[in-house]
Amino acid sequence: MPSTSMRVAALLACAPLALAAPKTTAAKQAAAASSPAPPIRSHPTSISHGPYSGIPLATGALSNSIVGTGIPSLPPNPAATSYPSDGRLHEPQPAPYVPAGGMGTNGTPPVYNAKSDFDYESLALALYQEWIELDLFHDGLARFSEQDFTAAGLTAEDRYLIQFMAEQEAGHATMISNILGAQAPQQCTYNYPYRTVREFIDFSQKLTRFGESGVYGFLPHLDSREAAQLLLQSITTEARQQMILRQFDGLFPVPVWFEVGVPQSWAWTLLAPFISSCPAGQTRLVWQNFPALWILNQPNPARVNASAGYNETISAGMNTLSSANLTTSEACAYSNNTLDDCKPAITQNRTIPLSYPGRRVFLSWETPGKPVGPNNSYVTSSQAGSPKYVAWVTQLNVTYSSLDVTNATSGSTVQPNVETYAGDPAINGTMFIAITDDDPYLTPFNLSLINRHVVAGPALYQAG
Ligand SMILES: *[C@@H]1O[C@H](CO)[C@@H](O)[C@H](O)[C@H]1NC(C)=O
Ligand SMILES: *[C@@H]1O[C@H](CO)[C@@H](O)[C@H](O)[C@H]1NC(C)=O
Ligand SMILES: *[C@@H]1O[C@H](CO)[C@@H](O)[C@H](O)[C@H]1NC(C)=O
Ligand SMILES: *[C@@H]1O[C@H](CO)[C@@H](O)[C@H](O)[C@H]1NC(C)=O
Ligand SMILES: *[C@@H]1O[C@H](CO)[C@@H](O)[C@H](O)[C@H]1NC(C)=O
Ligand SMILES: *[C@@H]1O[C@H](CO)[C@@H](O)[C@H](O)[C@H]1NC(C)=O
Ligand SMILES: *[C@@H]1O[C@H](CO)[C@@H](O)[C@H](O)[C@H]1NC(C)=O
Ligand SMILES: *[C@@H]1O[C@H](CO)[C@@H](O)[C@H](O)[C@H]1NC(C)=O
Ligand SMILES: *[C@@H]1O[C@H](CO)[C@@H](O)[C@H](O)[C@H]1NC(C)=O
Ligand SMILES: *[C@@H]1O[C@H](CO)[C@@H](O)[C@H](O)[C@H]1NC(C)=O
């Protein structure tokens, strides 16, 4: 049990240190040498896993009085283009070597808290994500034996790296909890679909992709620049985890020039199905759960010819690979050809790319109204009309392909051929697709305007 002063220190961990620190240099040095580090937030170290079997409390997303029906598309703000951008200084400098402008640069002390509902809900979502990652990394290590990991090409040192990732998550969860205060969401219990080390690694590689991208989507929109600073410093760590997990998955570590950002409701849609229950009194979220989307011929990183699999995933949404029924000649883990194999490695060339422009992609999706998430207490919904397009959200781009509808809940499309910049095929890596009713022009900063057009999804498409 931490002492009261330690708990106070934890709550203040994000407050400006100068206010609390001793004033003299000697006292400061003494304090630096002896003061204990703030503790991590307490959380259960052993939790049960499996589906939720209680009575669904279908209460839906957190809401208040809703005064509008949608966010309008407005004309540009004229001030947005008034700065000359000519390489010269245009305002008097507040101090030597300091240019005028910037936010939070006038000397007022930073306050590391939530400053709006948008901030609180976004940070609370990020905390749900950190909690599942903390449990996920521990669970993989606990569930599979040393022999299982060795057979998947992962050593004791690799397992230690996964354990260290779990410890990083305890730090991230503490940091966000300190920002949010007493009602910060608690750790929940989870239900994972993976059955092999390979599936666990692929699941983790995909889960950290939307953890990372879900934060990039809201980070520049936060009112609290201070909270954004700390969250940025945790998400860059998560980005490294995602890349390492791709390496463990035998994938090319970073096949894109830019990492994509997605809206909060996309991250929540992908995350919620794996949360079985949360403790009584848990703080709820405002975000939407969209109907689930399956990629029937999801490229399977465990295959020599990734494109050849059909119905080979263990869940909707994330569309994590199934390694269950691959023959020795189909499974790239057993290949002796260095260009076909997919053993864990710093980098891997694949003779046969996981996907390619012009590939037909078969999809099926659910209709709204299904209970999902913690205690089955959220309900999937969509404000969109009929399905017409597939949105490919990757790097800096949103690209649409037309959907060939088979029936109300299935169809197919063709993987587009687009580049972000010349030489950078936009569709690569672990990226996002969704079924939409329209094809609005969107860029990274206004991507959330896509939400009212989402029929189903997102799903993670394993393009490369
Ligand atoms: C969710 O279900 C569990 C197990 O039945 C229960 O203990 C918990 O209080 C429920 N959580 C909420 C937020 O209702
Ligand atoms: C990979 O599988 C796809 C789908 O079955 C097939 O069309 C393609 O020819 C295969 N590629 C190679 C190089 O074998
Ligand atoms: C996919 O496989 C599962 C069993 O593993 C089956 O229940 C389901 O109907 C299949 N879906 C399609 C579209 O073939
Ligand atoms: C693997 O094959 C078994 C036996 O044919 C079948 O029951 C099972 O559904 C298959 N699993 C997957 C993931 O395709
Ligand atoms: C790869 O080489 C090993 C050792 O020579 C052999 O046992 C295995 O069958 C080979 N794998 C394939 C897919 O040919
Ligand atoms: C790896 O792939 C790249 C791009 O296709 C190619 O230029 C390079 O020669 C390949 N290297 C090896 C060792 O296969
Ligand atoms: C993705 O990037 C890798 C590495 O550069 C490349 O080998 C592969 O062909 C790319 N895939 C697609 C679909 O462009
Ligand atoms: C839609 O088409 C798919 C593929 O043909 C089929 O498996 C599914 O049962 C159909 N669903 C409905 C609701 O008709
Ligand atoms: C991708 O995004 C970049 C940067 O916004 C833009 O210049 C480019 O035209 C986009 N490409 C496509 C195919 O939309
Ligand atoms: C999104 O932003 C772009 C500018 O980057 C703008 O042209 C487009 O109209 C915006 N989309 C919507 C739906 O407002």
Tell me whether residue 92 is in a domain: no
pLDDT tens-digit readout, 383-425: 999 999 999 999 999 999 999 999 999 999 999 999 999 999 9
Tell me whether residue 341 is in a domain: yes
Mean pLDDT of 288-304: 97
Closest residue to atom 9 of ligand 3, CA basis: 311
Q: How many residues does the chain have?
A: 464
Side-chain half-sphere exposure of 440, counting CA atoms within 13 A: 17
Interval between CA 439 and ligand 10 midpoint (Å): 12
pLDDT at 21: 38
Interval between CA 108 and ligand 3 midpoint (Å): 59
Whose tokens are 């403790």? That residue is 279
Over the chain, what is the mean pLDDT?
92
φ/ψ (deg, to 5) at 95: -165, 160
Closest residue to atom 14 of ligand 2, CA basis: 305
Mean pLDDT of 420-442: 97
Side-chain half-sphere exposure of 97, counting CA atoms within 13 A: 0
The number of the ligand 2 atom at minimal distance from the alpha carbon of 305 is 1
Q: 19 pLDDT exceeds 50? A: no
pLDDT at 339: 83
Q: Is the CB of 305 under 6 A from ligand 2?
A: yes
pTM over 0.75: yes
Mean pLDDT of 219-235: 98
Among 295, 272, 326, CA closest to 431: 295
Percentage of residues in the chain with pLDDT exceeding 70? 93
Q: How confident is the model at residue 27 (pLDDT cuts 50, 70, 90)?
A: low
pLDDT at 355: 98
Q: How confident is the model at residue 8 (pLDDT cuts 50, 70, 90)?
A: very low
Domain assignment of residue 299, given as a range: 114-462
Tell me whether residue 14 is in a domain: no
The number of the ligand 1 atom at minimal distance from the alpha carbon of 374 is 1
In the DSSP assignment, the letter for residue 184 is: P
Q: 5 pLDDT exceeds 80? A: no
Among 395, 398, 434, CA closest to 265: 434
pLDDT tens-digit readout, 308-356: 999 999 999 999 999 988 999 999 988 988 888 999 999 999 989 999 9
Q: 23 pLDDT exceeds 90? A: no
* Ligand of minimum distance to the alpha carbon of 280: 1
pLDDT tens-digit readout, 251-277: 999 999 999 999 999 999 999 999 999
Tell me whether residue 67 is in a domain: no
Mean pLDDT of 280-306: 97
**Per-residue tokens: 360:** 């037909």
Instruction: Count how many domains the chain has.
Output: 1
Collect all residues with Cβ–Cβ distance below 8 Å to 240 and sequence separation of at least 6: none
Q: Using CA atoms, how far apart are residues 79 and 385, in angstroms rounded to an integer?
A: 36
Tell me whether residue 154 is in a domain: yes
Q: Using CA atoms, how far apart are residues 321 and 204, in angstroms rounded to an integer?
A: 11
pLDDT at 32: 61
Which amino acid is present at 413?
A: T
Tell me whether residue 397 is in a domain: yes
Q: Which residues pair with 363 in a beta bridge?
A: 295, 411
Closest residue to atom 11 of ligand 10, CA basis: 442
Tell me whether residue 335 is in a domain: yes
Q: 6 pLDDT exceeds 60? A: no
Contact indicator for 253, 247 with CB cutoff of 8 Å: yes
Q: Is the CB of 339 under 6 A from ligand 6?
A: yes
The burial of 63, by beta-carbon neighbours within 10 Å (0-12 exposed, 13-18 middle, 19 or more buried), is given as: exposed
Tell me whether residue 247 is in a domain: yes
CA distances from 342 to 201, 209, 359 (A): 13, 20, 22
Other CB atoms closer than 10 Å to residue 308's CB: what's the count?
Answer: 13
Interval between CA 407 and ligand 8 midpoint (Å): 6
Closest residue to atom 5 of ligand 6, CA basis: 349
pLDDT tens-digit readout, 89-137: 999 999 999 999 999 999 999 999 999 999 999 999 999 999 999 999 9
The number of the ligand 4 atom at minimal distance from the alpha carbon of 311 is 14
pLDDT tens-digit readout, 177-203: 999 999 999 999 999 999 999 999 999
Contact indicator for 202, 320 with CB cutoff of 8 Å: yes
